[in-house]
Chain A
């Protein structure tokens, strides 16, 4: 019994890891396609049908390039940087519930790699570690552009993590739990008589707005991609990187986007819940599988949104970035916490 449980857990962890990497791989393809479509072009279409083998070709190219380490770089840290970025990016998808429970042979199996009762804190801790990969890589390159990029990344991530944490605190006041699975399950309740529509976005719209802005900043995406700002800093923190070092940084960015999308979908957009999920009268396992599909649809939408915004908005100036973070988002998120707390107290008083 124990062994089979272990086997199932291992299988789910393996699947989550594989899916994360697969989605990150095809995000590079999707990014280029979305960019092309928005700019009235057709994008990569030569490698395989519709260019679907493009990510493979890119990976092969990166693997065969020379792994160049600058003469005055700290060799250990130079390699540790991208490795750490990739490691932290891959770790954070472990606690995301990718579905409800499958009941097989009387056993309820949670479609989640690891259940920890502080899931959100785990995600935040790992995401906060992610900046070390950029910091170390940028510093170890011994290049002023890399160092500037690394410094920008560090200060930007610290500034926006505050607002992000605050927006999450308001959410936690509503949900009353730190477990990702419980938060996802709570959103499956009824709202206006529609089951599976008790999404947190209806309780925390401002919190979600703050969260999504901070998610853009945390993943170093346009309009907050100042760490790799190629117009000012050549390539930012990965100026000196070639071959798979560069590949890992780029890949880590896409894994981060996937994780950020999954967290947003889980925390605010109902996770694996979909409207009328319990009123359709479908078997439990079917509902679970449908829920997983719906969750991935939500995740893909958010990944698309990341790309959509990237090819729409120009980059912030650094002082604008800091003004937005410290003078607008943090006060707004504190206000959001206060209003949410007041509303919860008022509700307790009235009902």
Chain B
């Protein structure tokens, strides 16, 4: 058949010569390759003892910060939910009652605040959108694997930073 591109190479299947038929040179070649690998640096990271180095700007699990007096910074403005390209954030806003001034910084706060970690793409746009510097993506925590889907919907119980000890 005529070759269309003239790039086809005609391969000749030559009969093997004596050293090829003996297989021994090929075996020694193979042995030398495996011996080289024997002394190679291993790629394994021995996990519990060593951890893989993470980038300083690595974006992991979210945290809802408190201010310096231990009050929640979030005012449930909803900018993060608007900014979220994956629509992972939902919240319900509520009015601060009298006597709750030590819990919430402003008059409006989030009664519930949920992030679906299965939807979240960890882009960090919520962090950029937040006018109150309330939500951050930590660079040392990941959302761990779980058995049930509903366990991936993180509520305030798991998102809000724990109360500093001196305020308890």
Contact = CB atoms under 8 A, between A and B. Distances in A.
Contacts of A42: 42, 44, 46
Contact of A308 (B34, B39, B43, B46): B34
Contacts, number: 32
A201 B27 CA distance: 20
Contacts of A309: 31
Interface residues on B, range: 10 to 19
A113 B39 CA distance: 38
B32 to A, nearest CB: 9
Given A42-B44, A42-B46, A45-B46, A37 B31 contact: no
A38 B44 contact: no
Contact of A40 (B31, B35, B37): B37
B42 A312 contact: no
A348 interface: no
Which of A37, A308, A312 has most B Cβ within 10 Å? Answer: A312
A300 B38 CA distance: 17
B164 interface: no
Central interface residue in B33, B38, B39, B40, by most chain A CB within 10 Å: B38
Interface in A60-92: none
A311 B34 CA distance: 8
B46 A38 contact: no
Given A308-B31, A312-B31, A313-B30, A39 B46 contact: no
Contacts of B39: 37
A interface, size bucket: 10 to 19
Interface string A277-317: 00000000000000000000000000000001101110000
A41 interface: yes
Interface string B26-60: 01001101110111101110100000000000000
Contact of A312 (B34, B40, B43, B46): B34
Contacts of B43: 40-41
A38 B30 contact: no
Contacts of B46: 42, 45
B40 A40 contact: yes
- Secondary structure dominating the interface of B: helix
A41 B38 contact: no
Interface string A222-241: 00000000000000000000
Main DSSP-derived SS at the A contact region: loop
Contacts of A39: 37
A255 B80 CA distance: 67
Nearest to B36: A38
Interface in B66-101: none
Nearest to B30: A312
Nearest to A34: B38
B66 to A, nearest CB: 41
Contacts of B35: 308
Nearest to A324: B23
A309 B27 CA distance: 9
A45 B49 CA distance: 12
Nearest to A309: B31
Interface in A25-53: 34, 37-42, 45
Contacts of B34: 38, 308, 311-312
B29 to A, nearest CB: 10
Given A309-B31, A312-B31, A41 B44 contact: yes
Interface in B1-45: 27, 30-31, 33-35, 37-40, 42-44
A37 B38 contact: yes
Contacts of A313: 27, 30
Interface of A: 34, 37-42, 45, 308-309, 311-313
Given A38-B37, A311-B34, 14 more contacts: A34-B38, A38-B38, A39-B37, A40-B37, A40-B43, A41-B42, A41-B43, A42-B46, A308-B31, A308-B34, A312-B27, A312-B30, A312-B34, A313-B30
28 contacts: A34-B38, A37-B37, A37-B38, A37-B39, A37-B42, A38-B34, A38-B37, A38-B38, A39-B37, A40-B37, A40-B40, A40-B42, A41-B42, A41-B43, A42-B44, A42-B46, A45-B46, A308-B34, A308-B35, A309-B31, A311-B34, A312-B27, A312-B30, A312-B31, A312-B33, A312-B34, A313-B27, A313-B30
Interface of B: 27, 30-31, 33-35, 37-40, 42-44, 46
